[in-house]
Structure 1
Amino acid sequence: MNRILLTEDDSRVAAFIKKGLEENLYLAHVAGNGADALLEAASSDYDAIILDVMLPDMDGFDVCTLLRRRGITTPVIMLSALNSPEEKIRGLQCGADDYLSKPFLFEELLARIHAQLRRIEFNRGVTDMQRYAGIEINMAEQCAYRNGNDLQLSPREFKLLTFLVRNREKALSRAQIAQSVWDIHFSSNTNVVDVYINYLRRKLDKDYAHPLIHTIKGRGYMLKQKEHEPAS
């Protein structure tokens, strides 16, 4: 699922934005300064970066410039109380994809994130409607169907199915699934991945002769249709 790196040193603002992002099915990681943001962006894959301009160690303009110099092309949305045309131009010139002035409506931030993700996905050939083997996932409306039947998934089940569809026909380890769907490091002491795979199987496969979710012994799970099944 979509992972957002939020760089904000004000803990109250960071908590507010993080909570809102998670309520809208994003995985959010907070970096409190520019150095941590640079390290995170280089060591982990993020789908977008929200970057405050006023940071304790270096300003967001410098962070954005360094990101681009290091070849990190992740979309950057800058946030700042500095809202003069000159500051906005500076932000865009240093490599930001968008610039949002504080204070802002959270709905506007969401819309701008979504616009950046849609642009990236369009370039990758990914659309708001994911289809595979009779499954249809409507990303905009956050709903999923199999052969036209509403699966009525919970938010976490929806995240899991989307991840499986986007990585279809690949063996996925429990660690990969946990990291991408829950943003946690998998531990052998937890069975959360297996539990949610079973939840999803009951909704996705229970009324069909040919299941789509397969257990790969010793490795994890795979979403794949049988070779003799018609492709959708």
Structure 2
Amino acid sequence: MSRILIIEDDPDIALGLQEDLARHGHDTDVARDGEAGLRRARDGAWDVILLDVMLPLRDGFEVCRELRRLRVKTPVIMLTARTQEAEKVLGLEVGADDYVTKPFSAAELRARIKAVTRRFADDDDSAGTYRFGQCEVDFDRAELRRAGVVVDVTALELRLLRVFSRSRGRVLTREQLIRQAWGDNVYIGDRVVDTHILNLRKKVEAVPTSPQHIRSVRGIGYRFDG
């Protein structure tokens, strides 16, 4: 059984989610605006947070960004009625682990919940420290240091670093990165992957425009030389 926080201002959607998740053995609670959701997410012990984008007081992007700033690592699935790729990219950039576009089926959402909780558990099971160049990644503490200085990273960026650390010297396609960092049954475009790699390079490379660690392999994907 998972403990799931639902941050959703639409009472019908929130109730429907609660009823379906309860039928499948999950324990849920609801916050109806961004401020209340942030407090509950920060102070509670949750396995997953379902976070609507359009919320009163604070929108979902602000809530997710603040949670990651506070180093809350709980997996976040954003619920959005927006289909534009730019909105999805923004959600992932602020630290969300996945997104579901409304309207969605209950079965799809349960599958996404299962996928993010499995990835989170896998990350916990394979913790450790990895060093490359001037960087040190402490997966136990979810922390990246460059030249001894702590650098803010999202949960997704840490998963990408874990994937790269396990595949040093190998060329990984974008499809492989999506499957290993985002999970199965997650459908995102190449541009989303490239945006995250660009952001990650800014944090680990001495000269992001001339990367020495996360190298592009034209027409295929990326190779990690760490």
TM-score (norm 1): 0.53
What is the match of residue 8 of structure 1? 8
Q: Within 5 Å, which residues of 2 pair with 1:118-133?
A: 118-125=118-125
The one-letter amino acid of 1:59's match is D
CA distance in 1, matches of 2:92, 2:43: 24
What is the match of residue 102 of structure 1? 102
What is the match of residue 23 of structure 1? 23
What is the match of residue 86 of structure 1? 86
Q: Within 5 Å, which residues of 2 pair with 1:148-167?
A: none
Q: CA deviation at 1:80?
A: 0.7
What is the match of residue 68 of structure 2? 68
Q: CA deviation at 1:40?
A: 0.8
Q: What's the % identity of the aligned pairs?
A: 45
Moved over 6 A (4+): none
CA distance in 2, matches of 1:6, 1:26: 12
Q: Within 5 Å, which residues of 2 pair with 1:160-179?
A: none
Q: CA deviation at 1:42?
A: 1.6
CA distance in 2, matches of 1:120, 1:58: 26
What is the match of residue 153 of structure 1? none
Deviations 1:106-151 (A, max 9, x none): 100000000001111122339xxxxxxxxxxxxxxxxxxxxxxxxx
Deviations 1:56-106 (A, max 9, x none): 111100110011011101000000111110100010001100011100111
CA distance in 1, matches of 2:76, 2:54: 15
What is the match of residue 43 of structure 1? 43
Partner SS, residue 124 of structure 1: helix
What is the match of residue 54 of structure 2? 54
Q: CA deviation at 1:34?
A: 0.8
CA distance in 2, matches of 1:109, 1:37: 19
Partner SS, residue 72 of structure 1: coil
CA distance in 2, matches of 1:67, 1:123: 19
CA distance in 1, matches of 2:124, 2:99: 24
CA distance in 1, matches of 2:73, 2:7: 16
Q: Quick check: 1:113 aligned with 2:113?
A: yes
Q: Within 5 Å, which residues of 2 pair with 1:211-230?
A: none
CA distance in 1, matches of 2:24, 2:98: 20
Partner SS, residue 125 of structure 2: coil
Deviations 1:145-173 (A, max 9, x none): xxxxxxxxxxxxxxxxxxxxxxxxxxxxx
The one-letter amino acid of 2:46's match is Y
Partner SS, residue 79 of structure 1: strand
The one-letter amino acid of 1:5's match is L
Q: CA RMSD in A?
A: 1.2
CA distance in 2, matches of 1:92, 1:123: 18
TM-score (norm 2): 0.54
CA distance in 2, matches of 1:95, 1:120: 14
Which 5+ residue runs of structure 1 have no aligned equivalent? 127-232
Which 5+ residue runs of structure 2 have no aligned equivalent? 127-226
The one-letter amino acid of 2:31's match is A
- When Rg is computed on C-alpha atoms for both structures, the one with the higher figure is 1
CA distance in 2, matches of 1:22, 1:50: 14
CA distance in 2, matches of 1:36, 1:57: 9
The one-letter amino acid of 2:109's match is L
Deviations 1:173-231 (A, max 9, x none): xxxxxxxxxxxxxxxxxxxxxxxxxxxxxxxxxxxxxxxxxxxxxxxxxxxxxxxxxxx
